[in-house]
Amino acid sequence: MLGHAWAHVRARPARLAAVLLAVALGTAFLAATAVFTATSAAGLRMVAAAPLTGADVVVDRDPEAAGADSEPDWADRLADRPGIAATAPVHARTVQLSTGDRRGTANVSTIADRPGLRWFDLDEGRWPEAPDEVVADPETVAGTGLAVGGDVRLVDAEGAETTATLVGVADLDFRPLTGVQYRLYAPEAAFSGDTPHSALAVVEPGTTPREAVEELDGALPPGFTAATAQERADEAADRFAGGSRQLETVLLAFALVALLASAMVIANTFTVLLAQRRRDTALLRLVGADRRQVRRMVALEAAISGAAGALIGTAAGTGLGYAGATAMGLAGGGLHVSPLALAGAFLVGLGTAVGSAWLPARRAAATAPVEALRAADMSGGVRFGAVHAVGAVLAVAGAAGAGVGTASGSPLVTVVGGFVAALGLLAALRYPIARSFGAVQAVLRRMGGTASLAGANLARNSGRAATAALALVLGLGLITALATAASTGRATIDADLRDRYPVDVGARVAEGSVARETVQAVEDIDALGTVEAVRTADVSIGALGETTLAGISPEMAEAAGAERLREEPSGGDGGEEAAPVMLVSDQQLAALDAEEGERMRLAVGIGGGEAEHAFTLYSSGLAEAAGTVAPVVREDVLEELEGRDTGEAGGAGDADRSMVWGVAGDDADRDAIADRMAAVAADDPDLLVGGALSERADITQALDVMVNLSVAMLLVTVVIAAVGVANTLGLSVLERTRESAMLRALGLTRSGLRGTLAVEAVVIGLVGAVLGTVIGVPFGIVGVGAIVGDQAPLVVAVPWSSLGLVVAAASVIGVVSSVAPARRAARIAPAEGLSDD
């Protein structure tokens, strides 16, 4: 049988090209995942271990532990311990960095004074020596436009400002992951007075790191732990690997989806090929081949083409995986790959090819020799069977489970239910898709010409066309689900941020008023409909202590949705004084031991005086609009408080306006607003931007990266599905040679024949796109609902423009898939086709 299988492959290799390509793509996905995760994990391990390169022992201090030494020089005192040759404190500080035209967050870390404990070399300049000298990594130099000798302004969390000089550029082969934009390194003297959180130590000759750790364990006070540098590096690498394992799981899931699409293409290919070879199979049966030998021959054909595809895919996947890790900056440790993982990818690809061909082989081997010798009927529909019924039951049960999981806030139940529903749909959908081509035929018949011929072909070969469409349903449905999930996720995030941050722009200065030029720059942002420099006052309020009280105009209250502030103050029962509304944060409401809407008298200290005033308290996100907690009242209420408690008229011109708020319309581009505010902040070094823009930027950036990566991965599935459509059309050209020749003889032009195949392909693509969209949208919504749970109200946002692109892309896929088969069909001469047997 091996000889017969090889003869079939060698005689007509083009017919198995789709099998080879589908297996190659699916295997490449698996191999790329294996190489990417291994290489990135090694890179992350190097990132984690690099700062400990020169150390033997690491001592960590727990600042929360009772009795922990809080003296700044505790790390220096470790050098007096037996077996310890030298120590270096480890500090880290997050600051705001400004270079005049650039502004961002920077992490300032310690450079050990002892050269042996420094974990990187210099690419340019010299090591810093004075407290006001720093070294930067190459990305920071490029991002800020700094040069050696240039000055940079640093502001810490307490508002203390320093100016540092860049004296060197670090020579790093990778970018440490610290969660900030810029990275600076300063000498130990720059952290004078700070208590280090860790210390690095070098042991004396003759002492092992383990011996030093054991000695320190018995001598260190409570709150300190010692470990070897290798142990700490392994722990940090494991923490990094946790995130990479989650990404690996996602990539493997998409690889399995791609392999499932490959299996559909392979099964469809062998179904058609074996139908075309019914006479060959019958002759083998007549000369003595039994069913098992026929099945084995088909399996060997699949194994030959599958092995070639898996080999190509494994090689290509290795290169793609390393390229992906390099592009993400995670290949600092070089190429890492497990031979077993690559062997597994090869075997999975080979097994997918053989397994997918097994059912068509069984069906072909079960055909009686006498029946096979008759003229082959290449048409085929889909009969409703047990597999479709079971699939429908699974789809309904899985959908119900996913709904229950979403309602109960259980992502695991939702994922399991969704997976079961997806499997059920894949099993059940082939029948209704095949039936739908009958309706399509009725529509195309009315159009006449090539459209009518295409409709007849689809209806006659509905089973094969349904399988090709189902592969597209899988790929395009998942892309639709991701697009819907991303859109719904963004809408939910935006709604939640609007509740927590009713204003889109919230910025402040630590003292005085926001500069008029800065306010004007914010007002010049076209997307902001309402902008106001908010009146503020430093006050003390009862149990809240010292805080900032903000007073806003009725116009800003309306724009921010604070309707209660627009109400006129009402008096209490029995003719009590009016109690204007004060908006506070949830924590402040709890600190005041007040209920929502409760009337309460509070001691308000302002301008040196203090008096009790009645307020009606409500919780609101406005109290945290500028990134700091500040109760909010109406501006006229604050003006009256300042005038009443100081005995002076609270003139608006003399008031501090330390905040600026801006509210955008519903359709505003908030990412563009964030970019404009970044430029405004760069021009005003005293301005601190908080609120929705900064948080939304962080969340949506992570969401966009994940969605873009997922869509890129799923495009592999769509490519495989497109190969399936092209293969279906190509094989149909071979089986319809007589029909095409007859049509040519009756006057159908080559362009007409090409148009027939193009219409067939476009219809298959559109059916796959429409079903994928109908299925993908609810799956995306349910998925986001499970993740969000009861953390925030779900806001459904269907990305209609993206869905339109999916449908358009399906049409393009159909047209492109028909090009090669159409050219092949158009080259058939009428006489040649009519002589074909």
**What ranges do the domains of the chain cover?**
54-232, 436-501+691-837, 503-689
On average, the pLDDT of the chain sits at 78
Out of 76-85, 416-425, 498-507, 719-728, give the one with best mean pLDDT. 76-85
Contacts 24+ apart (CB under 8 A), 333-336: 333/39, 333/42, 333/43, 333/45, 333/46, 334/39, 334/42, 335/35, 335/39, 336/35, 336/38, 336/39, 336/41, 336/42
pLDDT of residue 333: 67
CA–CA gap between residue 160 and residue 193 (Å, rounded)? 14
CA–CA gap between residue 275 and residue 733 (Å, rounded)? 14
As a 3-state breakdown, the chain gives helix, strand, coil percent values, each rounded to 5, of: 60, 15, 25
Residue 55's closest CA among 188, 187, 201, 197?
Answer: 201
Q: CB count, 10 Å around CB of 608?
A: 8
Rounded to the nearest 10 degrees, how much is the dihedral formed by the CA atoms of 35, 41, 42, 43?
100
CB 482 within 8 A of CB 799: no
Q: Among 107-111, 249-253, 588-592, 722-726, whose mean pLDDT is lowest?
A: 249-253
CB 89 within 8 A of CB 188: yes
Q: Is the pLDDT of residue 246 over 60?
A: no
**283 vs 165, more confident:** 165
**250 vs 309, more confident:** 309
Q: Among 196-200, 213-217, 229-233, 329-333, whose mean pLDDT is lowest?
A: 329-333
CA–CA gap between residue 560 and residue 501 (Å, rounded)? 9
Rounded mean pLDDT of 376-381? 54
CA–CA gap between residue 615 and residue 602 (Å, rounded)? 7
Tell me the pLDDT band of 693, cut-offs 50, 70 and 90. low
Residue 59's closest CA among 190, 199, 164, 210?
Answer: 199
CA–CA gap between residue 212 and residue 230 (Å, rounded)? 13
pLDDT of residue 354: 85
Q: Is the pLDDT of residue 583 over 80?
A: yes
Phi-psi region of 35 (alpha: psi -120 to 50; beta: other; left: phi over 0): alpha
Residue 221 to residues 68, 71, 227, 450, 776, Cα–Cα distance (Å): 7, 13, 15, 88, 59
Q: Read off φ and ψ for residue 334, nearest 5 degrees.
A: 85, -175
pLDDT of residue 101: 66
Is the torsion defined by CA of 577, 583, 589, 592 positive or negative?
Answer: negative
Q: Among 172-176, 462-466, 513-517, whose mean pLDDT is lowest?
A: 172-176
Query: What are the residues whose beta carbons fall under 8 Å from the beta carbon of 651, sequence distance 6 or more?
Result: none
Rounded mean pLDDT of 788-814? 79
Rounded mean pLDDT of 228-237? 80
Q: Is the pLDDT of residue 532 over 60?
A: yes
Residue 555's closest CA among 538, 583, 525, 533?
Answer: 533
Q: CB count, 10 Å around CB of 523?
A: 15
Query: What are the residues whose beta carbons fall under 8 Å from the beta carbon of 447, sequence distance 6 or more?
Result: none
**390 vs 268, more confident:** 390
Q: Read off φ and ψ for residue 348, nearest 5 degrees.
A: -65, -45
Tell me the pLDDT band of 651, cut-offs 50, 70 and 90. very low
pLDDT per position as a tens digit, 104-116: 778 899 999 888 8
Residue 763's closest CA among 480, 483, 445?
Answer: 445
End-to-end CA distance of the chain: 25
In the DSSP assignment, the letter for residue 569 is P
Rounded mean pLDDT of 120-125? 89
Q: Is the pLDDT of residue 520 over 90?
A: yes
Q: Is the pLDDT of residue 70 over 70?
A: no
CB 431 within 8 A of CB 388: yes
Show the tokens assigned to 794. Answer: 């779900």
Residue 719's closest CA among 254, 256, 250, 262?
Answer: 262
pLDDT of residue 725: 67
Q: Is the pLDDT of residue 777 over 70?
A: yes
pLDDT of residue 361: 79
Tell me the pLDDT band of 409, cut-offs 50, 70 and 90. low
Residue 681's closest CA among 476, 479, 525, 462?
Answer: 525
Show the tokens assigned to 285. Answer: 């049966």
CB 243 within 8 A of CB 332: no
Show the tokens assigned to 489. Answer: 């996720």
CA–CA gap between residue 736 and residue 670 (Å, rounded)? 56
pLDDT of residue 336: 81
CA–CA gap between residue 399 and residue 394 (Å, rounded)? 8
668 three-state secondary structure: coil
Rounded mean pLDDT of 504-509? 85
